[in-house]
Amino acid sequence: MPQPHVQYVEAAPGVRLWTERRGDPDASVLLLIMGAQASGLGWPEELCDALAARHQVVRYDHRDTGRSTWSYGKEPYRITDLADDVIAVLDGLGIERAHLVGMSLGGMLAQLVLSDDPDRLLSATLIGTNALSTTPLVHADGTTTAVEDLPGIDQRILEEWARPVEDHGVEAELDRRVRHWRLLHGDRIPFDAEYFRALERRIIEHTGRYDSSGAHGQADYSGMDRTEALAATRVPALVIAAGAEPVFPPPHPQHLAQVLGEDAALVEIAGMGHALPRQVLNPLAEAVLAHTAKA
């Protein structure tokens, strides 16, 4: 497979985003959108290569991650601005329409694009995220659960997020990131600490620094409700359900699929949590490729 092609695109005045493309340039585009504070390199190479068997695969660094512009400290932005960045990536690379795959915050950004710019999408795949909707979950027996009563984030993760991040050198930072991944990973698949340490070491080398701006946790999350637009969407949508998901645990995936309508597909990846260990990469790639083929 040819070497990936790197290109920077202008997302806003003074803001450049690092992008990378791989695969057949004549194939349909599949754009990967990572989660909060996560570089595009958070998408494992094996997964990118598997998806590139049928698509031109694009991944990119959000603002304040990786090699993209770190700007929040001087010019704060809203989370909805990160959804505008998705369109900026497509425009900057000359892409008219694409399949989107979003994980965690990336899944929220994909929902914003799906709602606000559906003509730019061929399909959407949403992983480890919650619905940007106030529509209640309807159970098989006809009873309902309000959105605010759906299960919350695992308390252990909330406690980890509340801990101050101190600079004790790169190896200590790697220890912290691996500890975080252990919590996100879930308890159904054996945790491979060295796999995630190597992943984070590559991200640090790519970024050229090992600190985190914390921008996406500080940014304004208002204006993200898309209840009506998501209910009306006609973009083919796939929701990945992960039984060991600790951030948006079941029935969040089932709720999201309901919000997106009866045509939305729901596929469970056995043992998956809020992470991408080797064990889930093949079934995840198969699910995504089956979905994009139908779309």
Instruction: Dump pLDDT digits (tens) for 221-258.
Output: 999 999 999 999 999 999 999 999 999 999 999 999 99
The proportion of the chain whose per-residue pLDDT surpasses 70, expressed as a percent, equals 100
The proportion of the chain whose per-residue pLDDT surpasses 90, expressed as a percent, equals 97
1 band by pLDDT with thresholds 50, 70 and 90 = low
Would you state the torsion angle of the CA atoms of residues 11, 274, 124, 130, taken in this order, to the nearest 10 degrees?
-90
Q: What is the pLDDT of residues 181-196, one digit of tens each?
A: 999 999 999 999 999 9
Segment among 259-263, 273-277, 290-294 with least mean pLDDT: 259-263
Cα distances from 271 to residues 25, 241, 282, in angstroms, run 34, 10, 13
Q: State yes or no: pLDDT of 75 exceeds 90.
A: yes
Nearest Cα residue to 131 out of 225, 33, 264: 225
Q: State yes or no: pLDDT of 70 exceeds 70.
A: yes
The answer to pTM > 0.85 is yes
Mean pLDDT, the chain, as a whole number? 97
Q: What is the pLDDT of residue 3?
A: 85
| 145 token code pair | 């659960």
Mean pLDDT score, 147-161? 96
What is the DSSP code string of 31-56? Answer: EEE--TT--GGGS-HHHHHHHTTTSE
User: Given CA atoms 121, 109, 71, 208 in this order, what sign does their dihedral have?
Assistant: negative
Structural domains of the chain sorted by starting position, each given as residue range(s) with its CATH number in brackets: 5-294 (3.40.50.1820)
What is residue 17's three-state secondary structure? strand
Q: State yes or no: pLDDT of 213 exceeds 90.
A: no
* Residue 149 identity: D
Q: What is the pLDDT of residues 116-143, one digit of tens each?
A: 999 999 999 999 999 999 999 999 999 9
102 band by pLDDT with thresholds 50, 70 and 90 = very high
Mean pLDDT score, 171-176? 97
Residue 18: count of CB within 10 angstroms of its CB:
22
What is the DSSP code string of 167-211? Answer: ---HHHHHHHHHHHHHHHH-SSS---HHHHHHHHHHHHHHHT---
Q: State yes or no: pLDDT of 2 exceeds 90.
A: no
Distance of CA 284 to the CA centre of its chain: 13
Nearest Cα residue to 121 out of 144, 135, 102, 148: 102
CA angle 39, 45, 48 (to 5 degrees): 90
Instruction: Give yes or no for a cis peptide into 251 (omega within 30° of 0).
Output: yes
